[in-house]
Structure 1
Amino acid sequence: MMDEDTSTSTGGGVKLFFVRLSQMYQSTLDRWTPHTRMRWAGAIVIILLFLLRIFLYQGWYIVCYALGIYHLNLFIAFLTPKIDPEFDPYENDDGPNLPTRSNEEFRPFIRRLPEFKFWLSITKSTIIGLICTFFDFFNVPVFWPILVMYFITLFCITMKRQIKHMIKYKYLPFTRNKPRYQRVGESPATTK
């Protein structure tokens, strides 16, 4: 009887520890959410540390190649709309489709992979890749120029296909020049 009580309380303690750890992790992510530039600066620093380690130790090219392919996959998901007009079975439905004519109402571009999840995935994967460089098991000897040429070819083919898709369905995944509307009673000179 007593063994069951101690095992239950120990199991609850472990579960409580992981719940608390998960809450702390989520709280930290929530605090980082509004700081877009700082988040990306940190991600770039981690990527540069990873590349510096690869360059200095002249190894782990397979890890670097796999990480590059994963980052390319994330980038493509970041550039594509959430509802792809090419594969939308409800094309005639009144759902949130991209505008196809210039006189249609402006609808914001909704990404398949939101910016925060894009940043989080890149940061996590780069940290995992950096950790992999500390183990010789992942340092598989390969002729790295072949990997570089294959990655460049894959990048060019993928981006060409993505740009053709963007041109065909007339969408731009960046909102730099999105329309800005005036407030009532505000003159055009005061808007930026």
Structure 2
Amino acid sequence: MDDMMGESGEGPAYNLFVQKSAFERRWQQLLDRSTPYVYQRWTGTGILLTLFMIRIVLAEGWYIICYALGIYLLNMFLAFLTPKITPSMEMDNQETEMEEGPSLPSKADEEFKPFIRRLPEFKFWHAVTQATVIALVCSFFRIFDVPVFWPILLVYFIILFGITMRRQIKHMIKYKYIPFDLNKKSYTGGGGGIGGGHGSKGR
């Protein structure tokens, strides 16, 4: 009985599982170490996207893969721009609390509420990079080269991008939030106000 368990525990499937677990641990360690290197990470991803676009232009095919990648990146970008808790949800919660009765004051929280993204920067970068690598690999297999009239896909994507971003900008204006740090200065002098030195990074 023990011999059977030992043979089954040390078989090819078990060795493959061990190697897979070790690889996942090393990969996660590399991802954790790359977290602070924002510009370097996005530069590498930009190079991958450029290589993919060059591949599509030179090969004159795989337009459906390019379109699918564009739609996916647009969805990820919208999640990156959108706050995790929208102001409309906060207003609904406040109305519910007022209906249920008085609660403890939370003045400090109301004075400063950092912008927390629905999709953090690191996860956004990881999703974009992973999708770009998959699209680049798919562009080397003829089975994914579905014949389509690419100008229609391009026009449709431009229209979809315009409508989506217009809706997002209206949402930003309505609830008065900015998903980026636009030359915000940190106040290091006396006073130590609540607004000094706080950014809106949502990673």
TM-score range (shorter-chain normalised) is 0.7 to 0.9
What is the CA-CA distance between 1:17 and the residue it aligns to? 1.5
Match of 2:70 in 1: 68
1:132 correspondence with 2:138? yes
Q: Deviations over 1:116-148 (max 9, x none)?
A: 110100000000000000100000000000000
Match of 1:175 in 2: 181
Distance, in Å, in 2 between the alignment partners of 1:59 and 1:50 is: 12
Residues 155 and 185 of structure 1, relative CA distance in 2, 3 Å threshold: closer
CA RMSD after TM alignment? 2.1
Match of 2:165 in 1: 159
Match of 1:101 in 2: none
Distance, in Å, in 1 between the alignment partners of 2:174 and 2:185 is: 22
Q: Which amino acid aligns with 2:7?
A: T
The number of equivalent residue pairs is 178
Match of 1:97 in 2: none
Match of 1:98 in 2: none
Contact map agreement 1:61 1:144 (CA 8 A) in 2: yes
Q: Which amino acid aligns with 2:144?
A: F
Distance, in Å, in 2 between the alignment partners of 1:143 and 1:91 is: 51
Match of 2:35 in 1: 33
What is the CA-CA distance between 1:37 and the residue it aligns to? 0.5
Distance, in Å, in 2 between the alignment partners of 1:107 and 1:5 is: 57
Would you tell me which structure has more helix in proportion to its own residues? Answer: 2
Match of 2:125 in 1: 119
- Structure 1 segments unaligned to the other structure (5+ residues): 95-103
Q: Which amino acid aligns with 2:147?
A: P
Q: Give the alignment's TM-score, normalised by structure 2.
A: 0.81
Contact map agreement 1:85 1:91 (CA 8 A) in 2: no
What is the CA-CA distance between 1:15 and the residue it aligns to? 2.5
What is the CA-CA distance between 1:158 and the residue it aligns to? 0.2
Distance, in Å, in 2 between the alignment partners of 1:44 and 1:175 is: 21
Q: Which amino acid aligns with 1:112?
A: R
Matching residue within 102, 110, 114 for 2:116:
110
Q: Which amino acid aligns with 1:67?
A: L
Q: Deviations over 1:26-85 (max 9, x none)?
A: 011011111110000000000000000000000000000000000000000000000022
Distance, in Å, in 1 between the alignment partners of 2:44 and 2:78 is: 21
Indicate the percent of aligned positions where both proteins have the same amino acid.
53
1:141 correspondence with 2:144? no
What is the CA-CA distance between 1:91 and the residue it aligns to? 3.9
Distance, in Å, in 1 between the alignment partners of 2:29 and 2:190 is: 38
Q: Which amino acid aligns with 1:151?
A: F
- Structure 2 segments unaligned to the other structure (5+ residues): 98-102, 104-109, 198-203
